[in-house]
Amino acid sequence: MMTTRFLFGRIAVGAAILIGGASASAAVRNSPLFSVAHAAETGEKTTGQGEGVIRAVDADDRKIMITHGPITGPLEMSPMTMAFRVGPNVDLSSLSKGVKIKFTISRDVKGLYVIEDVRPEQP
Ligand SMILES: [Cu+2]
């Protein structure tokens, strides 16, 4: 009885290390489920890079609407138009409708997306 439990415990620990550790295969690591589980486990944010055009700026709520291309990085997203929260380090005064931008986005452990950094394209 005790032996069986001990063995099961060892197997469970081994599986946890395989899933959470550096030994996870690229296919597993790149899956959205893994990145969410990994972020939750480590308390990390997952980040990605994108480019887009600003459709609207809501300075009061600190949100911007963007038509963005594919977002790449650990955090990935298909092209679409959507609103994002904007982090405290972003200067909204330089942003307005029609401005082309490059941006860094993060997703926290609760799945909340925030634009952390915005670089307007120089005219
Ligand atoms: Cu999107």
Q: How far is the CA of 1 from the centre of ligand 1 (A)?
A: 52
Q: 10-27 pLDDT, tens per residue?
A: 444 444 444 444 445 656
CA-to-CA dists, residue 60 to 86, 88, 93, angstroms: 11, 13, 12
- Average pLDDT of the residues in 93-119: 94
Return the domain boundaries, the chain.
2-42, 46-120
Q: 47-98 pLDDT, tens per residue?
A: 999 999 999 999 999 999 999 999 999 999 999 999 999 999 999 998 999 9
Q: How far is the CA of 84 from the centre of ligand 1 (A)?
A: 8
Full-model pTM: 0.66
Q: How far is the CA of 104 from the centre of ligand 1 (A)?
A: 12
Show the 3-state SS of 38-95: HHHHHCCCEEEEEEEEEEEEECCCCEEEEEECCEECCCCECCEEEEEEECCCCCHHHC
CA-to-CA dists, residue 85 to 32, 43, 95, 100, 122, angstroms: 21, 20, 14, 17, 23
Q: How far is the CA of 56 from the centre of ligand 1 (A)?
A: 15
The pLDDT of residue 40 is 57
Q: How far is the CA of 52 from the centre of ligand 1 (A)?
A: 10
Query: Residue 119 in contact with residue 94, Cβ under 8 Å?
Result: no
Q: Residue 34: count other Cβ atoms within 10 Å of its Cβ.
A: 17
Q: 1-11 pLDDT, tens per residue?
A: 444 454 444 44
What's the fold here for domain 46-120? OB fold (Dihydrolipoamide Acetyltransferase, E2P) (2.40.50)
Q: How far is the CA of 123 from the centre of ligand 1 (A)?
A: 25
Q: Tell me how far apart the alpha carbons of residues 76 and 4 are, in angstroms, rounded to a whole number.
A: 42
Indicate the pLDDT class of residue 44, thresholds 50, 70 and 90: confident
The pLDDT of residue 34 is 59
